[in-house]
Structure 1
Amino acid sequence: MTLLGGPEGRPLRVAGEEISRSELVSRAAFVAARIHGARAAAVNATATLDTVIAVVGGLMCGVPVVPVPPDSGPAERDHILGDSGAELVVGEGGFGLPAVPVGGGASTGSPEFPEPPGDATALILYTSGTTGAPKGVMISRDAIAADLDALAEAWGWTAEDTLVHGLPLFHVHGLVLGVLGALRTGSALVHTGRPTPEAYAAAGGTLYFGVPTVWSRMVESGAARELRGARLLVSGSAGLPAPVFEALEAMSGHRAVERYGMTETLITVSARHDGERRPGQVGLPLRGVETRLVAEDGSPVPHDGESPGELLVRTPTVFNGYLNRPEATAEALRDGWFHTGDIATIAPDGWHRIVGRASTDLIKSGGYRIGAGEIEAALLSHPAVRETAVIGTPHPDLGEQVTAFVVAAGAVTERELIDFVAGGLSAHKRPRAVRFVDALPRNALGKVQKKLLPQT
């Protein structure tokens, strides 16, 4: 259990069910004894204590754990199970594979398992699959340990904390940071089952994790006032709009820490608990992490805070590769640098701002390279804009035009919003079209799915 700390840590509570560290170790050992030797073990990753026990059991005996989103459809689920080579499923929902129960009780005389090698794959997490079938990301034990230790340093995270969140347990944010992080630091964990404002407000934590949608709802409901006694609020998985950042500070007294990462690299950049926090920026590289920006031709992009380029990272937290996809691994990981596919700017003082994805957020219009994130931030500062997503859509003369999709919070016209952006940004960055919609398509973590927006 070296990766996860020892049984002396504080208890965990998931969806109202509590367990001590010693009981967790014992029940996980029961699972470990029954799955030891399997090539991989799938887990129906519901927001329950059973999921935590199953994952810890796999980590104890060195069997790679494959968390399966509980809301995945049959095609996605079958792909994950087949591609991962999972030989059994821990917990309910056997999916046609042999099932190992979690509720079988505590271990009685189960063998002690030697600590697996640090480079052994601990988790196989599947990407969202926006450019094809989801890819299995193999994450090593060393990568997890290095990332959690760097985050503990950056956030001042100790065994004295009580971490609160209600995020899904099949992603890096909810599972690696939100469960394994608590286990490694020894902090208490309160997983609220669902990230509702009422549950967060009642949890009494010192450290809170959320995605922008969570923080927006905390502000809208007024529940953010109940977090004044907390030590740190952390936002991730998508950019926190500046108006939400500011409203959260006004209501809770906290300037949220933002951070950046990917499934393939874990968290690599973050603001610090004892440092500055800037709205719309994700901070500085964590300990051991190097970053750089490159243009499409691979040439360096200056760190001037304005010029966008693809963000590359070199980090001890990088993945072991995409399962069964050596070509994709070689394309993403070149000369020791992971090509994130994200567009960013880096200021002269090293602060990073994420503009968006190269595939959807870098707009090439009339010879200009325009970052969608900058325009979104400008639109969100208008009081009549609740949500927005900006993309490039085909234009016969410009190649692409800037098109904004807006969920309005009040009466506003297309022309008013176009002029508003043009008044604060360069004229070529103004939207040429504004489309009002009732809602933006989002995934389980609240990220806008821009590929689902109309492209014409």
Structure 2
Amino acid sequence: MTASLLSSLTAPGATARPDALVVAGRPCGRAELLGAAGAVARRIGGAASVAVHAEPTLATVVAVLGGLLAGVPVVPLAPDAGPAERAHILKDSGAELLLGGEGIPVDPAEHADHQGPEPDPEQVALILYTSGTTGAPKGALITHRAIAAGLDGLADAWQWTAEDTLVHGLPLFHVHGLVLGVLGALRTGCRLVHTGRPTPEAYAAAGGTLYFGVPTVWSRIARDPAAARALAGARLLVSGSAALPAPVFRDLRALAGQGPVERYGMTETLITLSARADGARRPGTVGLPLPGVRTRLAAEEGGIGELEVSGPTLFAGYLGRPEATSAAYTDDGWFRTGDIAAIEEDGTHRIVGRASTDLIKSGGYRIGAGEVENALLDHPAVREAAVIGVPHEDLGQEVVAYVVADGADERELIDFVAAHLSRHKRPRRVRFLDALPRNAMGKPQKKLLPDA
């Protein structure tokens, strides 16, 4: 996989553009990038693993590619990780070196040829740490083969080619920004513009054909009509890492001429589902399985159940945690995502939410929090919404909504949802907040919501 991935750096015409890669305003050609990565590979060769201080810089891209060249697993470190999280990841991963930040500096101007052997496809390329919502973050082992399968599947679904210019400003320590947003560009051979920060102004000025963003990014662009209209020339907009609110989808469709393609995946699975560039795009849906991926619903009831997946993009297990790895799989080898989904007649998937927080059992009904949240977001006064189930002595759980809204009261919002969905799905209570707690990817953190 590494040879075919990096072959785009030396393919005919690869040296023709000195700005084939632009990160936070700094341009770099593919041959220059390969030479700088070669210098890193020579320096780290033989290490068990290396950590990379993953700032949105060209040096980070060079460091990660150096690890791929050398066959050394790379551990991306969030630049804003707190001392305890940082210490845990460095110790747990066994990283022998730290590149960037307070560690060994990486100079993109260095150059060296690397003549080492091509890594085995089953070798670990990345150790990506989970968010730690159920304990200390776990290191997911991502192989070269899994990355290749995932990127090739997305290239097929999105008609992604070397003729594209990919634009994004996402962090470089997770699947979306690093695997899709950097390695995907290198594997397809397309031009990459990383904007440093994902501001509407930066996206509007980049002139891309393919744009990646998380819902927070797209929401801000939708609220900036000039920026949204500037994307009208793009071939494809892609949203991921969290559910895109239906009103944002519709606003972008009106302003930019298209609603974003949504896709679904996890750290442990990479991307497994996506709407296609040439297929239907419907708000709240995440499309069809990528090539080689299979899906099924466990304990299905009322049309929804826990999504389980199998296929070539799955991780090789949690580092040093065989019991956690075993628990993540069913007896017949399917990965338990922990997400609740519905599969429509044409095979299109909808993600309703997390089994642990978003499947609400109220009065004998199974209710997906995401469906209620989208209904609330359709109200013109509501800017943010999070829905949870709270223990109730009669119903088992009652639906409680937390919203950021201007000019709407509780009864109005309850009645609004009841008029749009089945009445049993309406919130029984609504709490008003100034803002929802969110993580670095913009996902609402429901466990941090105040007590209902």
Secondary structure of the structure 1 residue equivalent to 2:52: strand
2:42 match? 33
* 1:138-182 deviations in Å (ceiling 9; x for gaps): 100000000000100100100000000000000100000000000
Question: Displacement, 1:246?
Answer: 0.4
Secondary structure of the structure 2 residue equivalent to 1:52: helix
2:184 match? 181
Is contact 1:30–1:104 with CA below 8 Å preserved after alignment? no
1:447 match? 443
1:298 match? none
Question: Displacement, 1:105?
Answer: 4.3
1:438 match? 434
1:351 match? 348
Question: Displacement, 1:366?
Answer: 2.2
1:129 match? 132
Is contact 2:33–2:108 with CA below 8 Å preserved after alignment? no
1:115 correspondence with 2:118:
yes
Question: How many percent identity over aligned positions?
Answer: 69
2:290 match? 286
1:401 correspondence with 2:401:
no
**CA–CA separation in structure 1 for the residues paired with 2:212 and 2:148:** 19
Q: For structure 2, which runs of at least 5 residues remain unmatched after alignment?
A: none
Among 303, 316, 328, the alignment partner of 1:320 is 316
Is contact 2:363–2:396 with CA below 8 Å preserved after alignment? yes
**CA–CA separation in structure 2 for the residues paired with 1:377 and 1:402:** 14
State the one-letter code of the partner of 2:315. Answer: F
2:56 match? 47
The alpha-carbon distance between structure 1 residues 111 and 249, as it changes in their structure 2 partners (threshold 3 A), is closer
TM-score in terms of structure 2 length? 0.96
Question: Displacement, 1:82?
Answer: 0.3
Question: Displacement, 1:396?
Answer: 2.4
Among 222, 232, 235, the alignment partner of 2:236 is 232
The alpha-carbon distance between structure 1 residues 199 and 36, as it changes in their structure 2 partners (threshold 3 A), is same
Is contact 1:162–1:205 with CA below 8 Å preserved after alignment? yes
Q: For structure 1, which runs of at least 5 residues remain unmatched after alignment?
A: 296-300
State the one-letter code of the partner of 1:446. Answer: G
Is contact 2:211–2:236 with CA below 8 Å preserved after alignment? yes
The alpha-carbon distance between structure 1 residues 225 and 337, as it changes in their structure 2 partners (threshold 3 A), is same
**CA–CA separation in structure 2 for the residues paired with 1:177 and 1:290:** 21
State the one-letter code of the partner of 1:4. Answer: L
* 1:283-310 deviations in Å (ceiling 9; x for gaps): 1111111000011xxxxx37xxx61100
Alignment of 1:368-447 (within 5 A): 368-408=365-405, 410-447=406-443
2:249 match? 245
Is contact 2:200–2:217 with CA below 8 Å preserved after alignment? yes
Is contact 1:414–1:433 with CA below 8 Å preserved after alignment? yes
1:2 correspondence with 2:6:
no
1:155 match? 158
Is contact 1:414–1:434 with CA below 8 Å preserved after alignment? yes
* 1:316-348 deviations in Å (ceiling 9; x for gaps): 000000111111100112222110000000011
Decide which moves more: 360-369 or 156-165: 360-369
**CA–CA separation in structure 2 for the residues paired with 1:12 and 1:176:** 15
**CA–CA separation in structure 1 for the residues paired with 2:419 and 2:281:** 26
Secondary structure of the structure 2 residue equivalent to 1:360: coil
Is contact 1:3–1:141 with CA below 8 Å preserved after alignment? no
* 1:348-377 deviations in Å (ceiling 9; x for gaps): 110100000001100122222111011111
* 1:221-256 deviations in Å (ceiling 9; x for gaps): 121110011100000011111110000010000121
1:15 match? 24
Is contact 2:357–2:388 with CA below 8 Å preserved after alignment? yes
State the one-letter code of the partner of 2:84. Answer: A
Secondary structure of the structure 2 residue equivalent to 1:333: coil
Question: Displacement, 1:102?
Answer: 1.1
Alignment of 1:183-202 (within 5 A): 183-202=186-205
Is contact 2:32–2:111 with CA below 8 Å preserved after alignment? no
Is contact 2:193–2:206 with CA below 8 Å preserved after alignment? yes
Question: Displacement, 1:192?
Answer: 0.3
